[in-house]
Amino acid sequence: MELEGRGLFTGEHTTLRFHPAEPYTGLYFVRTDRSQPVRIDARAENIAKRARRTSLRNGTVSVETVEHCLSACAGLGIDNLRIELTGSELPALDGSCLSWVEKLQEAGIRGQDAPRQPFVISQTTRVVDGDCELVALPPLRSDADRLEIIYDLDYGEDSVIGRQIHSLVLTTESFVEQIAPARTFVLQEEADQLLAMGLGTHLTYADILVFGANGVIENTLRFPNECVRHKILDLVGDLMLVGRFVVGRIYARKSGHSLNLELVRRLVEQSQEQLTSSLLVSPPAYDIHRIQRILPHRYPFLMVDRIVELEGSQRAVGIKNVTVNEEFFQGHYPGQPIMPGVLIIEALAQMGGILLSQELEHKGMVAVLLSLDRVKFRRPVVPGDQLILTAQAIRIASRRGHVRCSARVGNEPVCEAEIRFALTDAEPV
C-alpha cells in the first residue's frame, strides 16, 4: 500500500510504502532513497532535536515530521510496521492524520499471534517548561488497558484561538471520530515567521489552518475546538516513541513536541527501571547449563550467564555479570580495568546465537558471525557492572539471520549493533 505527498516544512515530494512487521519489531522507517537503505526505529533514543515537529535520525540520516503517521498507528492499534519512504520528510497531506488512517484501514489490519506488552505508567511523572506542563499518572484501575488524555490549550483571552479543553479515552472509534480529522494550525504571525525562514513556502491557506485576527483564514473548521484536538493527535503520536503502547492518564497544559518528547524520555527511563527490577528477581528462562548446550563456548569465552526473557525467535534478554576476576582485566588497563569493547560485541553475538537457536535447534544448523553494522559504544564497562543484553530479530531466512542487539548497565546504554549471521550446517560430533 502506498501514500504520497509533499512535506509540511520542506515541500519535498515523498512516496511511502507500508509493510507488516514481525511481532515485537515495533514501528520503523526505512529511507529507501539512500544508496544503502537506512533503518530508523521509532524509539526515544533516535529523537532528533527539531522545532515544531518530531523527527528521528540514525547517524546523519533523518526522517522528519513523523508524528501524524505514528498517531494514526497508535489510534488503530498498530505496533509492528515497516514504513519505507523515498525522501526525508513524511507527507503533510491535509495536515491531519485522517488520510493515514484511511490508507491503513484500506490495506487491512491483521492481529498477530503474540501478546501485546504495553507500558503501564506506575508512578506520577511531571515535566514542566514555564507555564507548560505534562503529567503522567497511573491508571485509576489495575485492570485498565487504555490511555486517557485531558488537554488544556490556552492561548489567552486576547487570542482568536482562546482556551480549549478536550478529554479522550483512546480507542479506535474515539480516535477516528474525534482526533484523526483535526488539522495542523498556526497563527498568522507564526506562518509569516516560517515563510521568512524559507519553510512551508509551497503551502496555501487550503493546506493548513492559519488563524488571523478574525479567525481561520480561507478555510473552515472541522470542530469548534479543532486546535486542541490536533494537540492530542500530536501527543498520541509522540507517545509511541516509548516503543510500546502507553496505558495510564495524561494531563497536558499548553504542551508541544519538545515537552511531549521530554515526557517520553522519562517514561522510557521508568520502563527500563521496571525491566531491570524484574530481571533481577525473575527465574531464568535458561540457566548456564542450558546455555552451554546451545553455545559451543566455554570459560573464559562464554559471555552470557543466564537468559531471563525469551519471546520465541523474536527477542531474548540475557545477563552477563562482570567481575574483577575476569581474565581480560589482568592485561586490559589493569590500573583502571575496562572490559574490552570487542568482548561486549562478542557477548551480543552470543545472545544473537541463542535467539537464532530457537529456529535452528531442530534443523542441525548453527549461526556463524558474518558482519557487524552500526556499532556504537556509549560508556565503559567496569568490574561490578551487570550487563543486560538484548537481541531482537530483524529478519531470519533459510541461510541468513539479521539481529539487532544492545547492551546496557541499569538504565545506561553501553553498546548497540546490528549483527548478521550465516546459518550453516552443524558439523557432526
**Residues involved in catalysis:** 257, 332
Under 8 Å between Cβ of 405 and 391 = yes
d(CA 287, CA 49): 42
Indicate the Cα dihedral angle 423, 425, 427, 429, nearest 10°: 100
**Residue 387 bridge partners (DSSP):** 320, 409
Give the residue from 110, 101, 45 showing the smallest Cα distance to 73: 101
d(CA 153, CA 162): 8
**Residue 423 bridge partners (DSSP):** 367
Instruction: Pull the grid cell for residue 384.
Output: 561490578
CA angle 352, 355, 359 (to 5 degrees): 125
d(CA 93, CA 100): 9
d(CA 295, CA 373): 23
**Residue 209 bridge partners (DSSP):** 185
d(CA 165, CA 179): 13
